[in-house]
């Protein structure tokens, strides 16, 4: 397949996983802002497990579990203790990022890190995680918009009081969505050393976590648009890198700005459909008399 | 509890109470508990890693006070930390999230470096204020873009500030490697600014007077936030935007202004780093000040009064981290975990305090009912 397409699709994968995880949590009302740290944790755990076990799949799975633990803490602290989501998320960002560096330092130390073998190509020069990313997006869309369970989850993120009155388990839904969402973020992080670098480094995430939050807003918190948005952003990024090599007569730094400026520009024109879950970032107090 | 109402008091949200956090014993106690608990957990972690926690903590905490160099290092680190924390906390008071502190700081550094290089030849009395002003304006302008997008097009401010951070990194790279590149430096570094644009220093080892200026600025900001109309409106918008609007506060204007002021402060941080510390602009000048600024602002619970004090504590930890690794072999990442735990435990202690207060209220009410 065309090299540009392959590069774009590969660059898209981590964004899809992390942004869909953000969306899934957000649709239940939990606004996770620990992406950057969770991706770093996923990258460190994924790399270390893959290195010691020799299986990338094991690395991805364990990374997912590591992310799930932090997601569970976030969901519990915001749902049952009703602590500020943004504050807890950032605290967990620091904790998970610190844990990632610490784990790596403990196992590898200051030595030259051995490379893990890259994910095998499955079809047309693409690895299985690409297929998984697309399948995840389609499945999330179908689940959220075509099943009762999905509608219940969305209702928790829009109006938990109404959902509660209908007998939907608001607390449990938030716990599950927060945990699974964080697991997806860590898996997205684990993809980075397995495809791009082969090794873990503290700067490996390079702001992708923050961009994933931007992509969740960009996609209006809907899985299908998040997939498109991730592809768009990845394509712009690859184009910028290509232009950097071939040269366009303008400084390459300005070309590198384009993906970010383009995303911002699209947001400006898309602000009408850029919906946000009604209860995003807020905590449900069952005993409060204030509705919505 | 001296109230004798028979109905339980309305549940007080911790966030509402925290905004009025005073430096009283009641406010200081959760801090003490959180810090002690965080250090305890980290001590267990250090033992598990096979190191001596006492030695590690001694290294991390005393490094700033052992000699003059440590003190100056800590205070100069305190400057950008305080400024970026303020740049985060001021919009936060209006319920807006400014994640663009590092972009605003880089723009501030860019503005300062541009004027500092182009304006060489001007006397210091003219050039230095101009350089700082250029930094402040550049930062404010950068934040104004996000504020305008937020106000005019409802573009979420987290999104726009994060994206503009990435744009600013590229801008810095361009300025430092193409416009005023220093060919002898290796890497993206600009040529130095004119000597007249450097901040004066005091003491030995030299400490730039930006430390003193920022101390006054932080004190002034804390007073303004509490005593001025603007500060009142800012808090009103953050606490209940709808109520503030109904009472005639132009809420969108307050929100925009809070972002622009934050940008100006972030720009000042960049300008001070240029004129006070580096005397040039270089890649990575923003360091990790944005994230530390956010965590400082959150540990301070959004209180402008508490920010400088918390920032000092974090500056001590950050300056001591390297020395801890050298002295006891404990990796520097432990400090990151420590900071995250302090924040987390501070929130937990709020929950406990709230539970205690509630159960006491209920007990009083029950007593009233039976009496």
Q: What pLDDT digit, counting tens, does each position of B74-106 carry?
A: 999 999 999 999 999 999 988 888 989 999 999
**Residue A233, domain member (yes or no):** no
Which region, left, alpha or beta, applies to residue A140 given φ > 0 means left and ψ of -120 to 50 means alpha? alpha
Of B332, B290, B272, nearest in space to B59 by CA: B332
Share of chain B above pLDDT 70, in %: 92
What pLDDT does B89 receive? 93
Residues B331, B322: contact at Cβ < 8 Å? Answer: no
Task: Give the minimum alpha-carbon distance from A49 to chain B in angstroms, rounded to a whole number.
Answer: 19
B197-244: pLDDT as tens digits: 888 888 778 888 889 999 999 999 999 888 888 888 888 888 888 888
pLDDT at position A140 over 80: yes
- Contact call for B159 and A217, based on CB within 8 A: yes
Residue in A101, A257, A268 closest to B170 by CB = A257
pLDDT at position B21 over 70: no
**Residue A257, domain member (yes or no):** no
Question: ipTM of this complex > 0.85?
Answer: no
pLDDT at position B332 over 90: no
- Annotated domain spans of chain B: 50-330
What pLDDT does B371 receive? 66
- In order of A128, A136, A139, the CA distances from A131 in angstroms are 5, 8, 12
Task: Give the minimum alpha-carbon distance from A91 to chain B in angstroms, rounded to a whole number.
Answer: 5
| Tokens at B45, concatenated | 């972690």
Residue in B14, B165, B337 closest to A99 by CB = B337
Task: Give the minimum alpha-carbon distance from A25 to chain B in angstroms, rounded to a whole number.
Answer: 17
**Residue A16, domain member (yes or no):** yes
Interface of A with B (CB under 8 A): 77, 81, 83-84, 86-88, 90-95, 97-99, 101-102, 105-106, 207, 210-211, 213-214, 217-218, 251, 253-254, 256-257, 260-261, 263-264, 267-268, 271, 274, 276, 285, 287-288
Query: Residue A272 — pLDDT band, cuts 50, 70, 90?
Result: low
Chain A positions in Cβ-Cβ contact with residue B142 (cut-off 8 Å): none
Best of B106, B164, B337 to substitute, by most chain A Cβ atoms within 10 angstroms, is B337
Q: How far apart are CA B264 and CA B144, in angstroms?
A: 9
Which runs of consecutive H residues, i.e. helices, occur in chain B?
14-19, 25-48, 53-62, 68-93, 101-118, 124-153, 157-174, 210-227, 229-239, 241-246, 251-272, 289-299, 307-328, 333-370
What pLDDT does B27 receive? 67
DSSP A288: -
Pick the more confident residue, B366 or B39: B39
DSSP B278: I
Q: How far apart are CA A84 and CA B350, in angstroms?
A: 11
Arithmetic mean of pLDDT over chain B? 85
The lowest-confidence range among A114-123, A217-226, A251-260, B102-111 is A114-123
Over range B57-67, report the average pLDDT.
84
Residue in B153, B331, B340 closest to A94 by CB = B340
| Tokens at B354, concatenated | 């709230």
Q: How far apart are CA B357 and CA B334, in angstroms?
A: 34
Task: Give the minimum alpha-carbon distance from B16 to chain A in angstroms, rounded to a whole number.
Answer: 11
Q: How far apart are CA A1 and CA A104, in angstroms?
A: 36
**Residue A129, domain member (yes or no):** yes
Best of A98, A216, A258 to substitute, by most chain B Cβ atoms within 10 angstroms, is A98
Over range A205-223, report the average pLDDT.
87
Q: At what angle do helices A208-218 and A170-192 cross, to 10 degrees?
A: 130
B230-285: pLDDT as tens digits: 888 888 888 888 888 888 888 889 999 999 999 999 999 999 999 998 888 888 88
What is the three-class DSSP state of A118?
Answer: coil
Whether cis (ω within 30° of 0) applies to the bond prior to B121 is no
Residues B79, B269: contact at Cβ < 8 Å? Answer: yes
Residues B249, B237: contact at Cβ < 8 Å? Answer: yes
Over range A248-271, report the average pLDDT.
80
Q: How far apart are CA A118 and CA A191, in angstroms?
A: 10
Chain A positions in Cβ-Cβ contact with residue B10 (cut-off 8 Å): none
Arithmetic mean of pLDDT over chain A? 87
**Residue A42, domain member (yes or no):** yes
Which helix (DSSP H) or strand (DSSP E) does residue A140 occupy? helix A128-146
Q: How far apart are CA A155 and CA B331, in angstroms?
A: 45
B164-193: pLDDT as tens digits: 999 999 999 899 888 888 888 777 888 888
Domain tally, chain A: 1
Q: How far apart are CA A130 and CA A234, in angstroms?
A: 13
Task: Give the minimum alpha-carbon distance from B333 to chain A in angstroms, rounded to a whole number.
Answer: 5
Q: Write the burial class of residue B56 (CB in 10 Å: 0-12 exposed, 13-18 middle, 19+ buried).
A: buried
Domain residues for the domain of A125 are 9-206
Q: Write the burial class of residue A265 (CB in 10 Å: 0-12 exposed, 13-18 middle, 19+ buried).
A: exposed
- Contact call for A95 and B344, based on CB within 8 A: yes
Question: Which residues on adjacent β-strands are paired with residue B201?
Answer: B208
| Tokens at B39, concatenated | 């250090």
- Contact call for A99 and B170, based on CB within 8 A: no
Task: Give the CATH number of domain B50-330; options: 1.10.3470, 2.60.40, 1.10.340, 1.10.10.
Answer: 1.10.3470
A103-125: pLDDT as tens digits: 888 888 777 778 887 777 777 76
Which helix (DSSP H) or strand (DSSP E) does residue B207 occupy? strand B207-208
Residues A199, A115: contact at Cβ < 8 Å? Answer: yes
Chain B positions in Cβ-Cβ contact with residue A40 (cut-off 8 Å): none
Q: How far apart are CA B215 and CA A289, in angstroms?
A: 44
Over range B139-154, report the average pLDDT.
92
Q: Write the burial class of residue B291 (CB in 10 Å: 0-12 exposed, 13-18 middle, 19+ buried).
A: buried
- In order of A243, B112, B239, B343, the CA distances from B36 in angstroms are 53, 41, 31, 12
Q: Which residue of B has its CA nearest to A276?
A: B156
What pLDDT does B12 receive? 46
**Residue A268, domain member (yes or no):** no
Return the exposure string of B123-142: e unless at least 16 CB atoms fall within 10 Å of the residue's CB, then b. eeeebbebbbbbbbbbbbbb
Q: How far apart are CA B93 and CA A30, in angstroms?
A: 21
- In order of A61, B80, B106, B293, the CA distances from B287 in angstroms are 33, 10, 10, 11
What is the three-class DSSP state of B275?
Answer: helix
Contacts of B84 (CB under 8 A, 6+ apart): B101, B102, B105, B265, B266, B269, B289, B290, B292, B293, B294, B296
Q: At what angle do helices B307-328 and B289-299 cross, to 10 degrees?
A: 120
- In order of A20, A45, B67, the CA distances from A61 in angstroms are 17, 10, 49
Contacts of B355 (CB under 8 A, 6+ apart): none
Over range A6-33, report the average pLDDT.
92
Task: Give the minimum alpha-carbon distance from B331 to chain A in angstroms, rounded to a whole number.
Answer: 7
């Amino acid at each position: 397949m065309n090299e540009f397409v392959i590069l774009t699709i590969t660059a898209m994968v981590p964004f899809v996983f992390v942004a869909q995880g953000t969306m899934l949590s957000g649709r239940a009302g939990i606004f996770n802002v620990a992406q950057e740290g969770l991706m770093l944790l996923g990258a460190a755990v994924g790399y270390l497990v893959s290195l010691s076990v020799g299986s990338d799949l094991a690395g991805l799975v364990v990374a997912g579990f590591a992310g799930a633990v932090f997601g569970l803490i976030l969901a519990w602290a915001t749902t049952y203790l009703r602590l500020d989501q943004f504050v807890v998320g950032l605290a967990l960002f620091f904790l998970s990022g610190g844990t990632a560096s610490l784990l790596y330092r403990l196992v590898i130390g200051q030595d030259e890190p051995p490379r893990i073998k890259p994910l095998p190509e499955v079809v047309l020069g693409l690895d299985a995680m690409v297929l998984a990313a697309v399948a995840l997006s389609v499945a999330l869309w179908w689940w959220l918009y075509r099943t009762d369970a999905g509608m219940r989850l969305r209702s928790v993120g829009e109006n938990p009081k109404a959902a509660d009155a209908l007998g939907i388990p608001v607390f449990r839904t938030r716990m599950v969505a927060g945990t699974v969402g964080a697991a997806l973020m860590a898996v997205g992080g684990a993809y980075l050393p397995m495809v791009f670098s082969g090794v873990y480094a503290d700067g490996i995430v390079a702001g992708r976590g923050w961009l994933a939050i931007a992509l969740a807003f960009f996609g209006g918190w809907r899985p299908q648009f998040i997939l498109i948005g991730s592809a768009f952003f990845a394509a712009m990024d690859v184009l910028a890198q290509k232009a950097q090599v071939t040269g366009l007569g303008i400084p390459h730094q300005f070309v590198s700005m384009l993906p970010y400026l383009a995303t911002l520009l699209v947001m400006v024109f898309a602000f009408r459909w850029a919906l946000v879950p009604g209860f995003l970032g807020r905590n449900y107090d069952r005993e409060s008399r204030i509705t919505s | 509890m001296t109230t004798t109402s028979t109905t339980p008091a309305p549940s007080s949200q911790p966030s509402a109470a925290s905004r009025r956090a005073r430096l009283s014993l009641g406010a200081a106690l959760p801090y003490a508990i959180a810090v002690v608990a965080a250090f305890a957990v980290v001590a267990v972690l250090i033992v598990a890693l096979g190191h001596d926690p006492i030695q590690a903590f001694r290294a991390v905490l005393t490094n700033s006070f052992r000699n003059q160099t440590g003190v100056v290092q800590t205070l100069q680190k305190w400057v950008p930390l305080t400024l970026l924390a303020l740049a985060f906390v001021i919009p936060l008071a209006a319920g807006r999230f400014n994640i663009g502190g590092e972009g605003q700081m880089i723009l501030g550094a860019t503005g300062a470096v541009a004027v500092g290089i182009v304006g060489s030849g001007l006397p210091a009395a003219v050039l230095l204020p101009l350089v700082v002003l250029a930094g402040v304006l550049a930062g404010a302008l950068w934040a104004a873009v996000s504020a305008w997008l937020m106000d005019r097009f409802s573009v979420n401010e987290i999104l726009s500030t994060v994206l503009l951070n990435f744009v600013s990194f590229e801008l810095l790279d361009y300025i430092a490697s193409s416009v005023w590149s220093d060919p002898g430096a290796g890497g993206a570094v600009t040529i130095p600014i004119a000597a007249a644009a450097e901040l004066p220093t005091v003491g030995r080892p030299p400490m730039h007077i930006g430390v003193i200026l920022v101390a006054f600025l932080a004190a002034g900001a804390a007073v303004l936030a509490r005593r001025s109309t603007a500060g009142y409106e800012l808090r009103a918008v953050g606490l209940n935007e709808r109520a503030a609007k109904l009472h005639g506060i132009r809420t969108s204007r307050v929100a925009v202004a809070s972002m622009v002021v934050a940008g100006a402060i972030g720009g000042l941080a960049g300008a001070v780093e240029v004129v006070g510390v580096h005397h040039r602009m270089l890649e990575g000048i923003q360091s990790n000040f944005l994230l530390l600024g956010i965590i400082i602002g959150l540990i301070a619970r959004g209180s402008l009064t508490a920010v400088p004090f918390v920032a000092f504590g974090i500056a001590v930890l950050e300056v001591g981290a390297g020395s801890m690794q050298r002295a006891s072999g404990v990796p520097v990442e432990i400090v990151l975990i420590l900071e995250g735990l302090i924040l987390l435990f501070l929130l937990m202690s709020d929950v406990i305090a709230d539970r205690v207060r509630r159960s006491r209220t209920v007990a009083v009410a029950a007593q009233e009912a039976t009496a």
